[in-house]
Structure 1
Amino acid sequence: MSEKVVVIYSGGMDSYTVLNKALKQGHEVYALSFNYGQRHVKELEVAKEVCDDLNVPHKIVDISAINQLLAGSSLTDDIEVPEGHYEEESMKSTIVPNRNMILLSLAVGYAVSLKANKVFYGAHSGDHAIYPDCRPEFVKKMDDVCRIANYDEVEIVCPYLNNSKIDILTDGLKMGLDYSQTWTCYNGREKACGKCGACQERLEAFELNQATDPLSYE
């Protein structure tokens, strides 16, 4: 009998790979996406299309009301998205305060209601420099608390926690995944900008995998 799991699925490259990895491992996957007021809400449209195609149960939950509490991020406020490499100091403006702790808490609650015992999310080593809530020590502490927060133990699973986006793409390409079904750019325009940190990291991953990114860029 397959194991029920919840996958936090943004619609981006990393969570798309995690979603498919969980499916290929034989899990009964329930995808969970969040509208937290991000300017790149286009990623949610992509996520819905993918789940429809894969026949994966999918919920998109609107939690955008929390933005009256979580100010100061260029992803949710009227602040220009910085250009440049992901590890540059300016990219700290893309941090949404406490985002992953909030999303993981909601996903764990959903998992308990489903009687699922794992929540997957796509933190990876490329995030460690900028995002505190993607670092191994954060994941370990969240895993500890989520195992005792309910009568039913829930494990936090990050398959790529110690891998780079390059490694994630390598694994996804080996699985035969179609990355035209993902959205990475922090600007939610018709085409990807190619200049924000998210785009640059994505393009670097394709270049180092000697592969062509199927997305169109401005």
Structure 2
Amino acid sequence: MVMSQKAVVVFSGGQDSTTCLFWALKQFAEVVAVTFDYQQRHQLEIDVAKNIAKELSVKHHILDMSLLNQLAPNALTRTNIPIEQTEGELPSTFVPGRNLLFLTFASIIAKQIGAKHIVTGVCETDFSGYPDCRDVFIKSCNVTINLAMDDQFVIHTPLMWLNKAETWKLADELGAFQFVREKTLTCYNGIIADGCGECPACKLRKRGLEEYLQQKGGDV
């Protein structure tokens, strides 16, 4: 625990980043959230992030990343591209370079406010095949950012080795289970809380929730 220090949390308002935000609030004296507006499929994501940050009294930055939308058309930035995954290929929701850009800009904010810690909710266990969610990428990115800025940031990934059931368990241990379940937006179809139940993100979230509640002996 480094309660005397500051952290920047990469924050989308989804299950994973909200769990990480609660984790950071337990770990650091001061926490700042940063959300990236890349004209994603559902602008509601930005509103959800704003509302959560406000409710938790967390200072919140929203950065314009619309150039990413122009450069990387995909299912998260175009409503006319279906959400799908073909075996052996990256999902249509993969946004090339997204986490690289997000972590770079989060570190720039961190540099400005004197924070040495950056927190992100990427996960290699349930990561849909995204290459920029892998531990090896995060470690490489951390080294590169430190070299580029001549600083010593630490990128934290509290969920890296957790499956979705374990992520729900962590939220529960942080006293945030109901908050995360009721107030976050994970659904690719833009439905808050338990979502549509049909898109890949909802299926993953629901499967993890059911597994955790079964382990705990509760009801979905």
Corresponding position: 1:193 with 2:196: yes
* 1:33 partner amino acid: T
SS in 2 for 1:149: helix
Whether contact under 8 Å (1:14, 1:168) holds in the other structure is yes
For 1:172 and 1:88, locate their aligned partners in 2 and report how far apart those are by CA, in whole Å. Answer: 31
Residue in structure 2 matched with residue 149 of structure 1 by the alignment: 148
Establish whether residue 209 from structure 1 lines up as the match of residue 209 from structure 2.
Answer: no
Residue 55 (structure 1) aligns with: 57
- Cα distance in 1 between the residues matched to 2:160 and 2:29: 19
After TM superposition, the structure 1 = structure 2 runs for residues 5-154 of structure 1, keeping only pairs within 5 Å, are 5-71=7-73, 73-77=74-78, 78-82=80-84, 92-154=91-153
Structure 2 gap segments, 5+ residues each: none
Distance 1:26 1:165, change over 3 A: same
What is the CA-CA distance between 1:181 and the residue it aligns to?
A: 1.5
Matches of 2:127 and 2:202 in 1, distance apart?
17
| Amino acid paired to 1:195 | E
Deviations 1:183-211, CA, capped at 9 Å, x for gaps = 10012257822111100011011100115
**Which sections of structure 1, spanning at least 5 residues, go unmatched?**
214-218
Superposition deviation, residue 20 in structure 1: 0.5
Q: Deviations over 1:116-161 (max 9, x none)?
A: 1111100113344510000111011011112221132212111111
Contact 2:83 2:91 in 1 (8 A): no
**1:2 pairs with 2:20:** no
Change over 3 Å in CA distance of 1:212–1:12 after alignment to 2: farther
SS of the equivalent of 1:119 reads strand
Tell me the TM-score normalised to structure 2 length: 0.87
Structure ranking higher on relative contact order (CA contacts 8 Å, 6+ apart): 1
Q: What one-letter code is carried by the residue in structure 1 that aligns with 2:202? A: C
TM-score by length of 1: 0.88
- Matched to 2:93, the amino acid is T
Q: What percent identity do the matched residue pairs reach? A: 38
For residues 195 and 209 of structure 1, the distance between their equivalents in structure 2, rounded to whole angstroms, comes to: 19
Q: CA RMSD in A?
A: 2.1
Report the secondary structure of 2:121's partner residue.
coil
Higher deviation after alignment, 146-155 or 100-109: 146-155
Which residue of the other structure, out of 181, 184, 196, is the alignment partner of 2:183?
181
For 2:130 and 2:117, the matched residues in 1 are separated by 22
